[in-house]
Amino acid sequence: MSAPSRTWRRSCCASPRNAAVDFVPIDALREALLLTLLIAAPLLLAALVVGLITSLVQAVTQVQDQTLAFLPKIVAVVLVAIALLGWLGTHMVEFAVRMFAGAA
């Protein structure tokens, strides 16, 4: 690489103004993905635990009905979602406020 092209790249891409603009969307995307994991984790964990318990009961009793595996998971996820609704809503609202404040 020649010296003029290195100089141009340094002057073009290394300014603080460009660096700030480039990292804001990346930080917002990272924060959105972490929030998605935070919101989904309790619901998925409830489905996992209930699924394992249901599978164990089905294996012990030798009852192989798909409804017995599906219905308890739905009930558990809905109950956990209702129990954590305030906490999940608070995190989502705080994220939305931060995103709108950053966009303004």
At a CB cut-off of 8 Å and minimum separation 6, what does 42 contact?
80, 84
pLDDT by residue (tens digit) across 27-70? Answer: 888 999 999 999 999 999 999 999 999 999 988 988 887 777 88
Q: Which pLDDT value is given to residue 25?
A: 80
The predicted model scores a pTM of 0.68
Residue 92 has pLDDT above 60, yes or no: yes
Asked if 46 and 77 count as a contact pair (C-beta separation under 8 A), the reply is: yes
- Greater confidence (43 vs 11) lies with 43
Q: Which pLDDT value is given to residue 14?
A: 55
- The alpha carbon torsion through 15, 18, 24, 27 (nearest 10 deg) reads -60
pLDDT bracket for residue 15 (50, 70, 90): low
